[in-house]
Structure 1
Amino acid sequence: MRTLGILTVCTVLLAGCSFTTAGGLSECDSSEDCGANQVCTNNFCLPQPAGCGQRYGDTSAEAVQLGAVLPLSLSATNPAAGKDESEVQGLNAILLALDELNEPGRSSRKITLHVCDTAFDATRTADQTQWLVADKKVVALLTAGSSQTLAAAAITLTKDVLTMSSSGTSPELTTREDNTKTGLLWRTAPSDAIQGRVIADLLVNDARFNTLQKVGLIYLDKDSYGVGLFEVITERLRTSSKTVRPIPYLRKDEASIVSAVSQMDAFDPDITVVVGFEDDASFIVKRGISSTNLKTSAGHKWFFSDSAKDTAMLDEDDVRNQLQGAYGTAPAQGAGQAFNSFQLRFIQKYGPDPRGFSFTSHSYDSMYLLGLGVAYSQGTSNTVTGPKMAEGLTKVSSASSAPIELTPTTVNQAMTELAAGRSVNVEGASGSLQFDLAGEASSPIELWQIEGSAFTEQDIIPPP
């Protein structure tokens, strides 16, 4: 490793780097020449991407290198904004599965997981993904959220890196052209083509909603998740007798949200469907409290999509009081032994019930599926690559085989079969993992209701 005494042309080497005369900047040929938390860029050791640096699991040289880009923080520029509790619990579910996959006696290689916090920023996600692929040599990547999954996939799909999303629900992921050629993009979360149709059908046909004629829809704009659900819901309602008013807003933009709520108040809906993340949804409800027509005392009702199912939305008394009796939907958690086992161990280790958040069981299953992919790739080719792991995932949905529930006591059975090149039929904590040719598993949808300080399950609706 070589060392430069003084650097005076930093801006030439890296956009945004400030002028410095500090000594000790190291030259490098690869990131192995650099110290901890540094990466070799243009032959100089520079800090690793913001939000990266956490490493979990087995750290031995023989371990398989996997990555995760997750929106753990609500803001990249404002630390006071805090963490996204639902995403934090999703990471806990991933780490629980990672610990179980790395237990002694497993019939597969150990795993290292490098975690980066995207803070809901697609550009930051892309930078982190590039670093994980180029410098950490990850063969597979876990993602969350539709926009961030698409940002990561723009890199991973060209680099033969398997990508698995636990909460990317946009229909756009299904039709992404390069994935139809490579088969490297998978998700345990069902497409919003399912959830959107369920929401619309509930509003039209369910006795709890079908008498409500004026439907408002406040949705997250310029985001594949928000726009995707908006399109599915409004198209489904287009031929109904409902009067529908969709109004977009921009993520974490107070002026945009205030304007959207004001417009919705003027529309005076019987029920407002909110498609957005918990922090935005909470602010929308708070603004509704001071409106004329969006208060529960005025007879107005609220309905939410999956991303708002987060106990943080019920922290403030005024919001919680306004939301008593409100409904929402989310991909259903599993109901079998795999979920019961996961739920018990999650509560024992982390405290909260995973049912209080969306996608915790889907996050758990996503890590387990990567573990099965590792077992197949290692067993059938004596090496672990993204394409070979993806090939292994095509063999976990055999309808002709007896189901194997993904628990710590049964996962070795699935690993052994896959390592021998045989197909299996696995059931996850999130339910059936019957993947189709697009790398998706259909899922029933939960209808939940807010009662006190909890989300209570009301119905489980089969996918239409």
Structure 2
Amino acid sequence: MRALGSLMLSAALLGGCSLTTAGGLSECETSTDCGENQVCTANFCVPLPAGCGERYGDPSADAVQIGAALPLSLSATNPDAGKDESEQQGINAILLALEEINQRGAAGKKLALHFCDTAGDPARTALQTQWLVTEKKIVALMTGGSTQTLAASEVTLKNNVLTMSSSATSPELAGVADRNGGTVGLLWRTAPSDVIQGKVVANLLATDSRFASATKIGLLYLDDPYGQGLFNVITGLLKPPAKIVKAFPYTRRTESTITSAVTKLDAEDPDLTVVVGFEDDASLIVKRASNTTHLKASAGHRWFFTDSAKDQALLEDATVKAQVQDAYGTAPAPNGGQAFDSFQSRFIAKYGRDPSNFSFTAHSYDSMYLFGLAVAYSQGTSGTVTGPKMAEGLTRLSSGKSYQLTSVNFLDAAGDLAANRSIDVEGASGSLLFDDTGEAPSPIELWQVTNDVFRQVATVPPPP
């Protein structure tokens, strides 16, 4: 026991924590008693959850505490795996909006953003979310991806934390019970449901002349709520004899299952293959396919990708780039109006990248701005900021004075909401006319790979 006591004492001293003996051993009262990258839990200093610790925005104690749990790293265990370029640009869009909001204030309040890198791991996401809720006292959380959003929502909703995703598209989110005894749902998203994208993909393949010759359709899909959602919609609409679909699932970032799925599909000799998955998996699929009999470009095979593959990194590998020239894909369409033009110009000036070359950057930007507007409503109408009150503010965005959601319009829009006046908002991502499930329908773009860019070739309205 003496050795254990000495060890704990040494750890406390090294961690910069205090020791008291009244009522037993105690290292800390609050996290300020602990060293850097530590938090006070049950009177002991413990490390921060892996991936957490970055803080952006206003540093003052009275700032509104917002969380972000987003899949920046490609691996939770391998630091050499790198970062997800599309997610990085989404985070940049969030930080741009945060900066613009804090330059003006939301009904006198400014925002602090606590960032956690989920690395795409739902279990890690849940732990990080619990820490953000318990230790950082966040009132709202921004999430990425369907599986991680579902994992986070199991923590946030029961704690009355408003949850917003800019890239979770699974139809399952619409069925989540998210009111926690209140009158307004707490789970929202700026990304459109894959019920919309799936219908657009199926309709294009069935009726568009560009795909008339593709009778045998391959479908390689990620075996999670995102991939399963699109699989169900697409296969439910494409039927023989007009179209024959052969579908095979694979596991995220698991080379053996990807290789197996590609091998099985090659035996089916499809005319065109739809890939539902993220850029890194899509790149590996195309690489493996380049060595098959039927799935390589020289055999006449064609590729079609969904939203998560629209990432500049898809075109960085020479083999992949050569195989996917002239390939098509879909993604939520930027609105092309004042809000998007302003966002695009400011984003390029700050980060040197065109946000239209990545999926969901505009949706990420809008998500942070919606938090800013919701803060203004909550503060102005109740004198305090809570998750349920912010969610109530989001229901006030579909009628009244029209605003393009730009930095120069934010103060006026926030002022109207703070005074309990409803407004009609058009964001960089398009219409923010939310329905009862917290979703905003969006048009879908058909894009095509042309050398080093994703070129928009058509915009398809949300189907009925």
TM range, smaller chain: over 0.9
Instruction: Work out whether residues 170 and 224 of structure 1, in 8 Å CA contact, stay in contact via their aligned partners in 2.
Output: yes
2-side partners of 1:149 and 1:130: how far apart?
13
**CA contact under 8 A between 1:447 and 1:460: conserved in structure 2?**
yes
**1:200 maps to amino acid:** A
Matches within 5 A, 1:283-298: 283-298=284-299
Deviation, structure 1 residue 95: 0.3
Contact 1:180 1:438 in 2 (8 A): no
CA deviation after TM superposition for structure 1 residue 253, in Å: 0.6
How large is the RMSD of aligned CA atoms in angstroms? 1.6
Q: Counterparts in 2 of 1:36-435, with a 5 A limit?
A: 36-104=36-104, 107-179=107-179, 182=182, 183-221=185-223, 223-238=224-239, 241-398=242-399, 401-435=400-434
Q: 2:324, 2:449 within 8 Å by CA — same for their partners in 1? A: yes
How far apart, CA to CA, are the structure 1 residues paired with 2:95 and 2:358? 16
Structure 2, gaps ≥5 residues long:
18-26
Structure 2 residue identity aligned to 1:364:
Y
Q: Percent identity, aligned pairs only? A: 64
Task: Give the Cα separation in 1 of the matches to 2:186 and 2:129.
Answer: 15
Tell whether the 8 Å contact from 1:403 to 1:424 is kept in structure 2 after alignment: yes
Give, in whole Å, the separation in 2 of the partners of 1:238 and 1:181.
42
Question: CA–CA distance in 1 between the matches of 2:45 and 2:446?
Answer: 51
Supply the AA of the counterpart residue of 1:336: G
Secondary structure of the 1:53 match is strand
CA distance in 2, matches of 1:453, 1:180: 47
User: Distance between the aligned counterparts of 1:354 and 1:208, measured in 2?
Assistant: 27
8 Å CA contact 1:303–1:327 kept in 2: the answer is yes
1:390–1:104 Cα change, 3 Å: closer
- Partner of 2:130, secondary structure, is helix
Which TM-score applies when normalising by structure 2?
Answer: 0.94
Q: 1:240 to 1:441 in 2, by over 3 A?
A: farther
SS at match of 2:6: coil
Provide the C-alpha distance between the structure 2 equivalents of 1:379 and 1:402, rounded to a whole number of angstroms: 18
Counterpart contact for 1:202–1:210, Cα < 8 Å = no
Q: Distance in 1 between matches of 2:241 and 2:458?
A: 23
- C-alpha distance in 1 between matches for 2:234 and 2:181: 29
In structure 1, distance between residues paired with 2:28 and 2:140? 26
The DSSP-based 3-state class of the residue aligned with 1:374 is helix
- The SS at the match of 2:210 is coil
* 1:185-240 deviation digits (Å, cap 9, x = unpaired): 0000000010011101111011111321100000011x111111111111111366
**Cα distance between partner residues in 2 of 1:383 and 1:240:** 60
The CA distance in 2 between the partners of 1:207 and 1:299, in whole Å, is 17
Say whether the 8 Å CA contact 2:106–2:372 is kept in structure 1. Answer: no
Shift of 1:177: 2.3
Q: The residue matched to 2:298 in structure 1 has which SS? A: helix
Closer/same/farther in 2, CA of residues 352 and 320 from structure 1, 3 Å limit: same
Deviation at 1:39, TM superposition (A): 1.5
- Return the alpha-carbon distance in structure 2 between the equivalents of residues 377 and 254 of structure 1: 47
Are the equivalent residues in 2 in contact too, given 1:108–1:374 (CA < 8 A)?
no
Per the alignment, residue 22 of structure 2 pairs with none
Q: In the alignment, residue 222 of structure 2 is paired with which amino acid?
A: L
SS of the residue aligned with 1:6? helix
Query: Aligned in 2, Cα 1:241/1:181: closer, same or farther, shift over 3 Å?
Result: farther
Query: In the alignment, residue 127 of structure 2 is paired with which amino acid?
Result: D
Q: CA deviation at 1:5?
A: 5.0
Distance 2:12 2:167 in 1: 45
Structure 1 residue runs of 5 or longer lacking an equivalent are 9-19
- Per the normalisation by structure 1, the TM-score is 0.94
Q: State the number of aligned residues.
A: 447
SS in 2 for 1:251: coil
Whether the 8 Å CA contact 1:125–1:148 is kept in 2: the answer is yes
Cα separation, 2, equivalents of 1:324 and 1:145: 27
Q: One-letter code of the match for 1:153?
A: S
How far apart in 1 are the matches of 2:119 and 2:98? 22
What secondary structure, in the 3-state scheme, does the structure 1 residue paired with 2:456 have?
strand
Corresponding residue for residue 14 of structure 1? none
1:459 pairs with 2:458: yes
Counterpart contact for 2:329–2:447, Cα < 8 Å: yes
Q: Which amino acid aligns with 1:395?
A: R
Q: Deviations over 1:379-412 (max 9, x none)?
A: 00000000000000000111xx242011111111
CA distance in 1, matches of 2:442, 2:179: 21
- The 3-state SS of whatever aligns with 1:215 is strand
Preserved contact between residue 158 and residue 180 of structure 2 (Cα < 8 Å): no
Which secondary structure state, in structure 1, belongs to the residue aligned with residue 407 of structure 2? coil
CA distance in 1, matches of 2:341, 2:252: 35
Distance in structure 2 (CA, Å) of the matches to 1:280 and 1:257: 8
